[in-house]
């Protein structure tokens, strides 16, 4: 992205679209904040924290999507690429999001099997990342 946006300037992104990128980036920061505030069990490892008495979180952004942290990451990568005026960065964002989608699907399998109440949560909250879409 740096070679595209700064060094060689291969991409020509309109300034208004860079502004949209800044808005998306700010939105991602707010979603990160809300997610961290609501879920004390966030962890880089996919595991159920039985020693801490983990329960299903259904408040805040978890009322609308099952993976608000990953949704925020999508906004972050998209917003960063646009703000830095890099069409190549959008390709990188797409690759990163494909990896996150793969992880989210695997994570749901673990939570469905090991976390009490998660199956009911899946029935109530239908969307993974984007409300009314997916």
pLDDT value for 132 = 76
Q: Where are the domains of the chain?
A: 2-6+15-124
Please count the CA atoms within 13 angstroms of the CA of 18 that sit on its side-chain side.
10
What is the C-alpha separation between 76 and 21, in angstroms, rounded? 9
Give the confidence band of 25 by pLDDT, cuts at 50, 70, 90.
very high
Q: Is the separation of the CB atoms in 52 and 26 below 8 Å?
A: no
Average of per-residue pLDDT values in the chain = 88
CB atoms within 10 A of CB 82: 24
Instruction: List Cα–Cα distances, 78 to 4, 6, 14, 105, 124, in angstroms.
Output: 15, 17, 15, 21, 28
pLDDT value for 95 = 96
Arithmetic mean of pLDDT, 101-125: 92
- The whole model's pTM is what? 0.85
Please count the CA atoms within 13 angstroms of the CA of 128 that sit on its side-chain side.
15
Instruction: List Cα–Cα distances, 28 to 2, 77, 80, 95, in angstroms.
Output: 21, 9, 10, 18
- Tokens representing 31 are 């979603």
Reported as a single tens digit per residue, the pLDDT across 31-77 is 999 999 999 888 877 778 778 888 899 999 999 999 999 999 999 99
Give the confidence band of 6 by pLDDT, cuts at 50, 70, 90.
low
Q: Give which of 94, 72, 84 is closest to 28, Cα–Cα.
A: 72
Give the confidence band of 3 by pLDDT, cuts at 50, 70, 90.
low
């Amino acid at each position: 992205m740096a070679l595209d946006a700064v060094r060689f300037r291969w991409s020509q992104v309109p300034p208004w679209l860079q502004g949209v990128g800044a808005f998306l980036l700010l939105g991602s920061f707010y979603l990160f904040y809300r997610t961290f505030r609501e879920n004390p069990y966030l962890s880089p490892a996919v595991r159920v924290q039985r020693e801490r008495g983990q329960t299903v979180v259904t408040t805040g952004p978890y009322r609308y999507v099952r993976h608000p942290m990953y949704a925020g990451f999508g906004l972050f990568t998209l917003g960063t690429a646009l703000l830095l005026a890099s069409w190549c960065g959008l390709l990188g964002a797409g690759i990163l999001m494909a990896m996150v989608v793969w992880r989210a699907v695997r994570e749901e399998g673990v939570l469905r099997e090991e976390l009490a109440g998660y199956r009911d949560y899946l029935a109530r909250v239908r969307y993974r990342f984007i409300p009314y879409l997916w």
